[in-house]
Structure 1
Amino acid sequence: MASSSHHDSSAAQRFVLETIGFSDAEKSLLISTFRLTGRRPFHYVEAAAPQERTDIYLVNADNPLAMWQLNARAPSVHVPAVLIGRQQDALAWPLVTKPIHWMRLFEQLDLQMRLAINERARRCNANGAAGGTEWRGGISRRACDRHAPHRPLFEERRLQESVLVVDDSATVRAFMRSRLTPFQFDVDYAENGEKAIDMAQAKSYTCIFLDILMPGMDGYQVCKRIKSSSATRDAAVVMLSSRASAFDKFRGSWAGCDAYLGKPVGEDELLSTIARFLPSARDTAQALLARTG
């Protein structure tokens, strides 16, 4: 099996993450945003089946019951934990403070899993030297896992989704480029509404980030045009504006936009918003609706 240092750059290493102690709304936000990690070297997913072993725990440190449940699961150097909360007391595992900064959380999860992989590999080597029995250190967390079915350690990354950023500000375009390209999005740019409409007609976009105040056609008009065309209406339109009054948001909703972000755009809000409109997120939502329908 390929090791973490010798694999196709188009593949992501997959880890099963268990969330503990979060509300349904918080868990939904966490899981949808973790879909973005499928574009990074380390990809975090929920267990696909009850028998799948957890690789890392993500725990609400402000919930005493959750901390008790974590202790009962006996996390270790081979199966670590990351905490989210407001507590600053001495804790056994690293804490990411609220409000959540997504990149800090991703980086902390990556760090803990790198340490765990190294420990698993060390155990693998020690066990092999002592007993001559193969130990799949990249996967196995317990001795009983030696005989568990193999699961893919790496998975192919999904095709890049295309994103269009429509803004006459070079600063905003540069900010969006710096935040989106690390997640392997194919990002295009337009400086005005007319060009944006032409580009959306010529290419399919998962998400269109649309400034409201632009020379010529404003964002509301562009949004109406995009949502009224059968060729472009499926693209999620996220309005960007320094105006954040209830009336401005109502105008955006009336124009057909799917979400509204105030300027300056926060990195965490940007990532959680775009995660909502990934095809995988929409597929999950449709599956849930089908179950309850």
Structure 2
Amino acid sequence: MNEMTRSFRIKLCGIQLKDHNVLKRILAITEGRARTYSLSNLEEDEETDILIVNADDPTATDEWNEKYVGSNGVSMCATVFASRNNNTKEQYSNTSLPFSPTRILKCLDEVTVKNFKYTPELRIEEPTEEIESETTHSSIRNYKSELSNQELETFIGNEPSKDNGRNKRNVLIVDDSLPVRKALDMKLRLMDYEVQHASSGREAIFLLQNSRFDFIFLDVVMPGIDGYEVCKLIKRNKATKNIPVVMLTSRSSPFDRVKGKLAGCDSYLTKPVEHEKFEKIVTGFLI
């Protein structure tokens, strides 16, 4: 098992046999994923990472409370409560019975992020030399080849859009890599942010004209308009110039950082993205 895969052991408490068998089949699907899940052997005292407790069974909740809850009233083991009757515990993760693959696997993945800080999706690998060369060559074109003068003037002179009573902060991810967008999306939604995606600089400009954002992740190397040019446009627009822009790059040379600063970016994240740095950047700008 390499450094980007991890196996989590799950112990069941009060889960009926039929639900146990369903879950066992669901967890078999995870073989080969970055996260794999398996059930602990009930007859052996195996190390347990995650507990799934039947919230409808008082005996099961009493056993959990006696064995796993500390003197501070908090479980000493990552815990998920499962229920057929919508019995939930606010401070813990909850799922419904009977188990469904999408629901329970999403729940378990969220537990590994929150409780174990395990975020393999955020490890964005360096592009291969071949892909890097092709992408860089494509991005050498001036951004005006993709945006007409009228489009540029319209964006730069665009008035700020109305807030419309938003409850959550809105983040824009601009990256031509779908895995990168999905990885950042998952982490940001777990942190309770709204997220929108753009796969190119042109698409980002369109979204910025029609939506209001509080934060932007912007890839440097993209076909057409590269990240530096998009950042310059964002900072020239009175409606968007104050939005924090964090550039994503696989390069960490001083020259690249200076170029980003000249374009107006507020910070940098170097790929592969580290969980702690990512969280520090987001909370630093959005709290």
State TM-score, norm by structure 2: 0.44
For the pair shown, which has the larger CA radius of gyration, 1 or 2?
2
